[in-house]
Amino acid sequence: MSEQSERPGLFAIVVSVLAAMFGVQTEANRRRDFSAGNPLAYIIVFIIILAAFVLSVAGVVKLVMAITS
């Protein structure tokens, strides 16, 4: 039962992935992620966040190109 309570939830995984992407991950969170986290969950969240970022940048570029032409 104690393993279940130590597992990070979805919000904690998202925050950890964002912090790691920006390079500001704390040592305590990194230890928690590597000891109790499921690597597949972090990979899936990373891919979703990365896709959202790329699509938002592409959308902004399309918007700017449409406004300027």
pLDDT at res. 24: 94
Cα 58 to chain centroid distance, Å, stands at 19
Give the residue among 29, 1, 31 at the shortest CA–CA distance from 14: 29
Q: Could you tell me the residue ranges of all domains in the chain?
A: 2-68
- Digitized pLDDT (tens) for each residue of the chain, 69 residues in all: 445 557 899 999 999 999 999 999 999 989 999 998 899 999 999 999 999 999 999 999 999 999 998
pTM: 0.81
pLDDT at res. 2: 47
7: left (phi over 0), alpha (psi -120 to 50) or beta: beta
3-state secondary structure of 15: helix
